[in-house]
Amino acid sequence: MAIRFSIDEISKSNRHTLGRDIDVAVFRLIRFMDLEKYLGRGAHGVIYECGRELGQSLNPKNIDDLIKFCEEYKIGKIEVVNKNPIQIRVYECISCSGLPEVGETLCWFEGGFIAGCLEKILNKKVRAKETHCAGLGDDFCQFEITTL
Ligand SMILES: [Zn+2]
């Protein structure tokens, strides 16, 4: 059985001298572990679904809640660049900002997270497809949202 913590529980830290923040490298080492070795080729989809569940569990009421959470937790700086179709840009992405171009998108967790938040905000099923990413050589991530 999975161990589940609420956002409040997981946000508490008794790191009196080291504090709450970690280096982005630590997060990325965990984030880009070779999960395909254990989960097979569907690993990216699993990470996307985990992000989606987290986004839904936050139960955001509007885009500002999403923007605020992403800034507060330093996931990235969110900007809605188009409303129809919805296109969301992420600057300074926690996962990919500064990584070298590798010929593919990298931010499955963030895509799922944005999708989960938007599903709660719009009360519709959506998919977030990453179209721009440091992994593709871009300076930001961008997700195109389609309703399902
Ligand atoms: Zn990205």
For residue 115, which phi and psi values (nearest 5 degrees)?
-60, -45
Distance 32 CA to ligand 1 centre (A): 12
Query: Looking at residue 34, what is its pLDDT?
Result: 85
- Distance (Å) from CA 8 to ligand 1 centroid: 27
**pLDDT tens, position by position, 127-136:** 999 999 999 9
3 pLDDT band (50/70/90 cuts)? low
- What is the pLDDT, as a whole number, of residue 2? 61
Residue 1 in this model has a pLDDT that exceeds 80:
no
* pLDDT at 68 > cutoff 50: yes
Neighbouring C-beta atoms of residue 98, cutoff 10 Å? 10
The Å distance, Cα 60 to ligand 1 centre, comes to 22
Domains, the chain, with CATH or none: 23-147 (3.30.1380.20)
Residue pLDDT, tens place only, 77-114:
999 999 999 999 999 999 999 999 999 999 999 999 99
Spatial separation of the C-alpha atoms in residues 148 and 8, rounded to whole Å? 31
Q: From ligand 1's centre to the CA of 61, what distance in Å? A: 25
Alpha helices in the chain (DSSP H): 7-11, 24-31, 36-39, 43-58, 63-72, 108-122
Residue 80 pairs in a beta bridge with: 88
Q: How far is the CA of 14 from the centre of ligand 1 (A)?
A: 31
Is pLDDT at 26 greater than 50 in this prediction? yes
Nearest to 106 by CA among 38, 31, 46, 26: 31
